[in-house]
């Protein structure tokens, strides 16, 4: 069963948690406890209310000192410059994951273009099924979604594709290679490493198989590393990854 009431408190909290998550707007310091406190103190009633918060608002929360309040406000402000696909994913459109959000951003380039696209245009994206296309189209037909698009622009959140596909050097070591990323990397989030790989024509998979070319392994890599070793797949660390990137 699925709750259809968008004003439901539980729906609001799940939307908030999704909006600030690592793969969406990636706002450091906004965990569930802080989000609950913001809602309970009537400081926010929608995800975009986060961008209207002041340092003084944050400091009204229990145990929030000036430095941590400033850090949180800075993290919220930085999220305004996220790429378009993150904004699309953060909206929580049904059936649209991060990869589908990237496809939409690459195809239409701006949030306005996506909002105004016909269902036929959306369906023409390679990798989009009819259910996904219908979900996107219906979402942007809603009056509240149209207001949301205008609000995103008014707040100053980026609404353009900043990483449109560019010409790729097919001789680079990432081109047409499949990577699996596992463990904790010293200097990159996994999503950042994945973006680098894909920007250079490589692919990122969630599971290790005989088709995997490289496993980029950090600390606590676990079962994926073990499987890669058993299959004889090339395992690289972040230093080797950087060397490949700079070739």
What is the mean predicted confidence (pLDDT) over 238-245? 94
Strand 214-217 vs strand 178-182: parallel, antiparallel, or unpaired?
parallel
Instruction: Tell me which residue of 237, 205, 207 sits closest to 223, measured CA to CA.
Output: 207
Closest C-alpha to 174, from 155, 188, 195: 195
Is the pLDDT reported for residue 4 higher than 60? Answer: no
Query: How much is the pLDDT for 167?
Result: 62
pLDDT top residue among 47 and 166: 47
| Residue-wise DSSP of 151-219 | HHHHHT---B-SS------TTSTTTT-EEEEESB-SS--HHHHHHHHHHTT-EEESS--TT--EEEE-B
The DSSP string of 35-89 is HHHHHHTTS-SSGGGGGG--HHHHHTSTT--HHHHHHHHHHHHHGGG--HHHHHH
In the chain, the domains with their CATH numbers are 9-81 (1.10.150.20), 84-155 (1.10.150.20), 178-245 (3.40.50.10190)
Q: How confident is the model over 238-247, as a mean pLDDT?
A: 92
Residue range 205-216: mean pLDDT, rounded? 92
Each residue's pLDDT tens digit, 104-124: 998 899 999 999 999 999 998
CB 159, CB 153: distance < 8 Å: yes
Mean pLDDT for 172-187 is 92
C-alpha–C-alpha distance, residues 165 and 193, integer Å: 16
Number of neighbours of residue 133 by Cβ within 10 angstroms: 22
Over the stretch 19-72, which tens digit does the pLDDT of each residue have? 999 999 999 999 999 999 999 999 999 999 999 999 999 998 877 788 899 999
């Amino acid at each position: 069963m699925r709750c259809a009431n968008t004003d439901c408190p539980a729906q609001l909290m799940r939307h908030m948690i999704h909006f600030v998550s690592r793969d969406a707007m990636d706002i450091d310091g906004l965990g569930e406890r802080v989000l609950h406190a913001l809602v309970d103190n009537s400081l926010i009633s929608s995800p975009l209310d986060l961008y209207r918060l002041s340092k003084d608002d944050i400091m009204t929360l229990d145990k929030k000192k000036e430095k941590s309040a400033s850090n949180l406000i800075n993290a919220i402000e930085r999220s305004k410059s996220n790429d378009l696909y993150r904004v699309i994913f953060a909206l929580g459109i049904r059936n649209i994951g991060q990869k589908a959000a990237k496809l939409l951003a690459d195809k239409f380039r701006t949030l306005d273009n996506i909002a105004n696209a016909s269902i036929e245009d959306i369906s023409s994206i390679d990798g989009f099924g009819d259910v996904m296309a219908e979900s996107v189209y219906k979402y942007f037909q809603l009056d509240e979604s149209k207001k949301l698009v205008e609000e995103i622009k008014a707040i100053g959140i980026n609404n353009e594709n900043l990483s449109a596909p560019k010409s790729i050097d097919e001789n680079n070591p990432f081109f047409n290679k499949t990577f699996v990323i596992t463990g904790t990397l010293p200097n990159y989030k996994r999503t950042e490493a994945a973006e680098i790989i894909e920007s250079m024509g490589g692919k990122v998979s969630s599971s290790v198989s005989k088709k995997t070319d490289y496993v980029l392994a950090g600390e606590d890599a676990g079962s994926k590393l073990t499987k890669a070793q058993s299959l004889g797949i090339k395992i690289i660390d972040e230093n080797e990854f950087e060397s490949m990137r700079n070739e």
